[in-house]
Amino acid sequence: MLNGTPSSEATRRRTFAIISHPDAGKTTLTEKFLLYAGAVSEAGAVKARAGRRSATSDWMAMEQERGISITSTVLQFTYRDHVVNLLDTPGHRDFSEDTYRVLAAADAAVMVLDVARGIETQTRKLFEVCRARQLPILTFINKYDRPGRDPLELVDELEQQIQLRATPVTWPVGIPGDFRGVIDRRTGHFARFTRTARGAMAAGEEILEADVAAKEEGAAWAQAVDETSLLDEVGADLDTESFREGESSPLFVGSALTNFGVRHLLDAVVDLAPSPTPREDRDGTSRPLDSGFSGFVFKIQANMNPGHRDHVAFLRVCSGRFERGMTAVHGRTGKPFNTKYAASVFGAERDTIDLAFPGDVIGLVNASELHIGDSLYVDEPVAYPEIPTFAPELFAAARGIDTGRYKQFRRGLDQLEQEGVVQVLRDPNGDPTPILAAVGAMQFEVFVHRLKNEFGAEVELLRMPHTLARRTDEATARELVKNSRIRVLRRRDAELLALFETEWTLQRLEQDHPDWCLEPILVGTTPT
Ligand code: G4P
């Protein structure tokens, strides 16, 4: 029933994203969440059955065939009378700033680690964005059905490498590759799992008291008990307060493929992850959940439908009750905004959405006047904080191929920069060639594609050898440009960015000139 007050509906909602390195099991876990929530009757069917709510993987494959991938949307399902919004963070080849921006719309994240690999580069980058936002994180150690590392070692790695204190809620019985089940540290009970064919159905689960488990599981149980005693000794216990602040992370162990431990994790999303709370505006004032409808745009997706030119702005609802057709105010322009074309969008699928509450995401179709970070509201005005830009790692010079279409090129460049498709850097000394900056190569592809198709300007991109950027000042910039391999460019917010080819060059400069200004661009810097 979707007719409570906004605050009571918010209490039922959990809005989260899964962060992981490619291949750690995000897609598999997403499917298994759907299976456990009853949104699909058989896992695997999700991937196979076209025309139904398609899984991320289908959509990505389709997009990749077209050579342009731009998706990151939301999957909504109910579980235990809660409405769960799972935001999709694009991975693999379509990693982009959108992957980070999605986290601005989430209230929590599930970090999936492959038991054999631990923390990997992409996990770390995404984690840093979560940390900058103090996003609560649940950790899932996946693939425990096959050989991997000692889970205690992974707990240690989290603490050492990313200063995240893991507080295991479940602990595995059996070594990686011989996974019997988990101890639930809250109750001391053993949940013993049995496989189902291809993991298509929920795993069989038997709950045993500790003494029965000891008899039946022998040495595997004894070892798990030893390890949990160690965790007790070091006080690695669930701590809701530090979890909510993003400092500790409830940890679960399982196998998405065989469904072992998936229920425990999904239960934790409902039981531990926070429901939407009043969001702060740019001045730090919270807008009550029961005030008029409001939300902010965190992502814009264009050309999803090759049949016609298409533009969807994704808005996270922050307060009030959204009803399709209502007229809101577009904060940046002050103009009325009609919400007639609101839809829920997942992959290529679209349904109109009539009602939404705080925590939900709506897709506003063909709302080309909306930019990333824009707020919509009714009643009291509100301006939510801008979505940050992120430290770019890829750079390319952009040259219009047809000089006769320079105007179209400029217009497209401005528009796509404002939409956040790429960041645009300019030479402060007058070289007119704009330099595009991105966190993922797909952003460049989207840029070229849209510039051609929407603005009629063909563009040639020349990739540059630089791989990292630092914020700098005028004095340091004068020194840096003496090195022909370093570029110093200006961003839209007037910041100067220095681009380096290798980490090594940068480190040497930092050592030789400790007084130079070479500040890391944290994952979140807000353009003004
Ligand atoms: P991603 O979205 O994070 O990139 O990962 P995805 O779920 O696609 O999983 C990557 C591979 O890891 C897949 O195998 C998947 O079946 C496997 N996998 C996921 N979870 C588990 C697990 O708990 N245990 C084991 N053993 N494997 C797991 P693939 O061979 O690449 O694809 P597929 O042919 O199985 O679809």
pLDDT digits (tens, 9 = 90+) for 17-67: 999 998 999 989 998 998 898 876 666 544 443 333 344 444 444 344 433
> Separation of 26 CA from ligand 1 center, angstroms?
8
- Please give the domain boundaries of the chain with CATH numbers for all domains: 6-272 (3.40.50.300), 279-377 (3.40.50.300), 394-520 (3.30.70.3280)
Give me the amino acid identity at 40: V
Ligand 1 centroid to Cα of residue 46, in Å, is 14
The two structure tokens encoding residue 53: 């709510």
pLDDT, mean over the chain? 87
> Residues lining ligand 1, judged by CB closer than 6 Å?
20, 22-28, 91, 142-143, 145-146, 255-257
Q: Distance from the CA of 275 to the center of ligand 1, in angstroms?
A: 30
At residue 346's C-alpha, the angle toward residues 98 and 335, to 5°, is 65
Which pLDDT value is given to residue 318? 98
Lowest-pLDDT choice from 42-56, 86-100, 152-166: 42-56
CA torsion through residues 294, 312, 416, 299, sign: positive
Residue 23 Cα to ligand 1 middle (Å): 6
Q: Ligand 1 centre from 495 Cα, in Å?
A: 42
Per-residue confidence (pLDDT) for residue 471, from 0 to 100: 94
Q: 19, 28, 122, 259: which to mutate for ligand 1, most atoms within 8 A of CB?
A: 28
Which residue is closest in CA terms to ligand 1's atom 31? 23
Token pair listed for 306: 């090759």
- Summarize pLDDT for 353-396 with one digit per residue, the tens: 889 999 999 988 878 889 899 999 999 999 999 888 888 999 99
Q: Which of 23, 122, 253, 264 is the pocket-test mutation for ligand 1 (most atoms within 8 Å of CB)?
A: 23
Three-class HEC string of 413-429: HHHHHHHCCCEEEECCC
Nearest CA to ligand 1 atom 6: 25
Rounded to the nearest angstrom, the distance between the alpha carbon of 252 and the centre of ligand 1 is 18
Q: What is the DSSP letter of 492?
A: T
Whole-number pLDDT of residue 347: 56
Cβ count within 10 A of residue 154: 22
Which atom number of ligand 1 is nearest to the Cα of residue 146?
26
Nearest 5°: the CA angle 420, 422, 427 is 120
Is the pLDDT reported for residue 270 higher than 90? Answer: yes
Lowest average pLDDT, out of 54-58, 230-234, 485-489, goes to: 54-58
Give the residue whose CA is nearest to atom 25 of ligand 1: 143
Answer yes or no: are the C-beta atoms of 497 and 489 closer than 8 Å. yes
- Ligand 1 atom 19: residue of nearest CA: 25
Q: What is the mean pLDDT of residues 412-430?
A: 91
Chain segment 308-357, per-residue pLDDT in tens? 566 788 999 999 999 989 999 999 999 999 988 777 665 556 667 889 99
Minimum mean pLDDT range among 18-32, 40-54, 181-195, 261-275: 40-54
Residue 345, classified by CB atoms within 10 Å of its CB into exposed (0-12), middle (13-18) or buried (19+), is buried
Q: How far away, in angstroms, is 33 Cα from ligand 1 center?
A: 15
